[in-house]
Amino acid sequence: MLPKPDALLSLTAQSHYLSYEVVDPNASTIQLQNARLTQRSDDPFSAQPIKSSCVSGEFLPALGTAVSYQAGGDGTVSISIASREQAGVAATIQTISDEEIEMGEFDLIQLSARDVECKAEFGSLPVWGPGEIGSVRTFGAAHSPSKELLGGEVIIVAKAIEKLFFVIPGATGLYEAGRITLPTGAQIRIDEGGWIGSARLNESSGSLLQVDLSTDNDTIWMWRAGASTDAGAIPIGASAFVRQTRDPGVIGLQIVLAIVLLVTQTVAALAQTVRT
């Protein structure tokens, strides 16, 4: 009996939006360089004016905070937060001047190389935890195209079996077991476990996020365009693609066995001919 291969799901997509829940605050830290911070009062009836300033330092989200990235048409990437807990600070910014700024759910960080006053320098943004890419396009209802996933694919790779039957040498490394093209307007989600990867501004479009993630979860979920958020989820499972017969080492063993069988049959046929 051969062991079950270890599988890894990786996703590459172009989307306007993604959100994830922080499970490792250190891995979710973002270095800010001349980012625009817009602060609003949590009270919608407050007369307190909106504050806008340029900040440099570290963005430090707390454990359990939902961090969202959204790309705009002008090449701006916005970072917003939502707290899953009632108490505590969801995120802070530790500036280079040692000032600590507490962020609220109505505050917004904007990264833009075109902002004259706050011309930001930024690269890849971390993603480390469960979350979603894109939003479900529901026909006949109000929908914001600014959160759509426009395309991408899921690639399933597996680790080759190094020892066949614990004795026979197999193969080393990873091999591709399958891939799925993602439709426009869909949403991809993991609620447990999590993604590991990053998002950055897509260089060719300048208005989309290039998302590159991976997970060791066996299953991720896809909601296609038009599906409700409560039903219609389609599982994408690694186990449906990973087969031992696709393993390079197993394929090599199959070829050797086939050659041995062919030679044996040929020799047996020649022996039978000689006897007759």
The phi and psi torsions of 3 (rounded to 5 degrees) equal -70, 155
Report d(CA 259, CA 265) in Å as an integer: 10
Report d(CA 223, CA 240) in Å as an integer: 18
Buried b / exposed e over 63-73, threshold 16 CB at 10 Å, is eebbbbbbbee
Token pair for 237: 């499972």
The predicted-structure confidence for 181-219, as pLDDT tens digits, reads as follows: 999 989 999 988 899 999 999 888 788 999 999 998 889
Question: Half-sphere exposure (CA, 13 Å, Cβ side) for 235?
Answer: 9
The predicted-structure confidence for 157-177, as pLDDT tens digits, reads as follows: 876 654 444 444 444 566 778
The predicted-structure confidence for 47-65, as pLDDT tens digits, reads as follows: 667 889 999 999 999 999 9
Partnered with residue 37 across adjacent β-strands are 53, 109
Report d(CA 260, CA 15) in Å as an integer: 52
Residue 8 zone, left/alpha/beta (φ > 0; ψ -120 to 50; rest): beta
The residues spanned by each domain of the chain are 7-243
